[in-house]
Amino acid sequence: MKYHTVVRSLCLCAMLVSAPAWAQVSVRIILAPPPPQYEVAPPMAPGHVWAPGYWAWNVDRHVWIRGRTIVQRDGYRWEPDRWEQRNESYYRRPGRWERDASYRVVKEKKPKKPKHWNNGGDHDNKPGRGPQHER
């Protein structure tokens, strides 16, 4: 019973030590991606933006990933996925949000609430007034 506990602990330690190495895996590809495919962006709902499609690498070839609608982040712009050439290799740079230097916060003025229930309205509609109450 103790032997299994020791083996499990050693396996767990090995996985924890090697986890950071998995996060830093980089794939070197020497085959250039095809030109981007043309996509028509659908009408956007308010607060959404279009993330265009891109070529991804799948084991031994490039595959097209279709564009999609994503939720807008105020103060940021979407930088789409792209491939960069370094020497004789190609590396995919995933899409991400970039801070938009030209973004300015615009505060909307709230309409003022009326002070009275009939502010600026027709005073003849008050109870006790109007043509039906005249003699």
- Distance, in Å, from the CA atom of 62 to the CA atom of 106, rounded to the nearest integer, reads 43
pLDDT of residue 21: 44
Taking only the tens place, the pLDDT of each residue in 36-49 is 899 999 999 999 99
3 state SS for 71-126 = ECCCCEEEECCEEEEECCEEEEECCEEEECCCCCCCCCCCCCCCCCCCCCCCHHHC
Average pLDDT estimate for 77-98: 91
Taking only the tens place, the pLDDT of each residue in 88-110 is 899 999 999 999 888 777 777 77
Structure letter (DSSP) for residue 130? S
| pLDDT higher at 8 or 21 | 8
Q: Which two tokens stand for residue 105?
A: 């916060």
Phi, psi torsion values for 119, nearest 5 degrees: -65, 110
Separation of CA 29 from chain center: 28
Indicate if the pLDDT at residue 124 is higher than 80. Answer: no
Cβ atoms of residues 49 and 67 within 8 Å: no
Q: Which two tokens stand for residue 117?
A: 């229930």
